[in-house]
Amino acid sequence: MTNSGTGYPYPMLNPPSFRWNRPDPLPAEPKVHEWIRTLDLGEAVAPDWSDIDVTLLGVPLSRSSISASAASETPDALRRAWKYFTTYNLDEGVDLSPLRVVDLGDVRQHVTDIAACHRNILEAMAAMREHHSHTLPLVMGGDHSITAMLVKGWKRAHPEERIGILQLDTHFDLRSLEDHGPTNGTPIRNLIESGTIRGEDVCNIGLHGFFNAKSLKEYADRAGVRYVTLREARRRGVEKAVAEALSFLAGKVDTIYLTVDMDVLDTGVAPGAPASTPGGMRTEELFEAVRIAGTHPKVKAMDLVCLDPHRDVREVTVKAGVHTMLSFLTGFAQRKGL
């Protein structure tokens, strides 16, 4: 596969608007921005995908948010914040640098046509599965509407698979499609009502407080959605609640898709998550939750959504987003025995 005439590295993607200059050779102890490779538009031939473990993808879409958001700026904000992190996880004693990670760039977005943006996202995931199905996609959103399109893209590429969702979120995201359309408030309902997934194959951890209407809980119950409130997860232990959800899903599905809405975090630690609320998760709870998910062999993709860097304070939430990505990759490295 060549780049010339077909796109970067296939038609649905654009190069990232921001990229780091990667040193050659790499330092013995690289920072994350030195470790992650950005696919080069000037390469005549695509890389040897068999040599890649993880493919990063930016989805800079936020026009489909219920409220105004600059989540479209998040992929580049995360990329810029890589410089603050090393590849070594002190808590776990894991060095991520043996993982081979490539940043593919961003899904092409239309200026005004949200439906076109959503089609591009679906097609980009399907193409990723076509060109390098062994790699683990880690997607940097964007608002939560993208999750429905990414999972639909996976399903197009793997129609025989039964897909489960592990959702870390303050909200059900089950609002009516008739009233709202494919927004950041409807991705899970979108997937259920389109027949892409079954309601019983969704596990949500993080719900709390006064932030979900009773009608949404009633829809979740009718659809068979499994959910654990944050209070209940803390009573059990968040780690145990995540492990139990993974075990439950793994007994039923072929693939588990992890979606992390950054509003699952308490608003005090995530000012850049527009819908974050009082009483949400602590950062260390989220980091451990995604690490555990990363260790599970059926967790085959992850996205991180609903972070608005324009609302952030001193990059607090952006740094938490990078830490969440790296924590997930720590679990993935542990899965691979690195």
- Pick out the residues of the known binding site for Mn(2+): 144, 169, 171, 173, 261, 263
User: Running DSSP on this structure, what letter comes out for residue 139?
Assistant: E
What values do phi and psi take at 257, rounded to 5? -105, 125
**DSSP 8-class letter at 281:** B
Q: Which long-range contacts (CB under 8 A, 24 or more apart) does 80-85 make?
A: 80/18, 81/315, 81/318, 81/319, 81/321, 81/322, 82/20, 82/31, 82/32, 82/33, 82/36, 82/322, 83/20, 83/31, 83/32, 83/33, 84/319, 84/322, 85/31, 85/32, 85/322, 85/323, 85/326
Six-digit token string for 52: 């890649």
Summarize the annotated binding site as residue ranges. Answer: 144, 169, 171, 173, 261, 263
Planar angle of CA 48, 135, 307, nearest 5 degrees: 120
Q: Is the dihedral of CA 191, 178, 278, 235 positive or negative?
A: negative
Q: b/e per residue, 43-55, with b = 16+ CB within 10 A?
A: eeebbebeebbbb
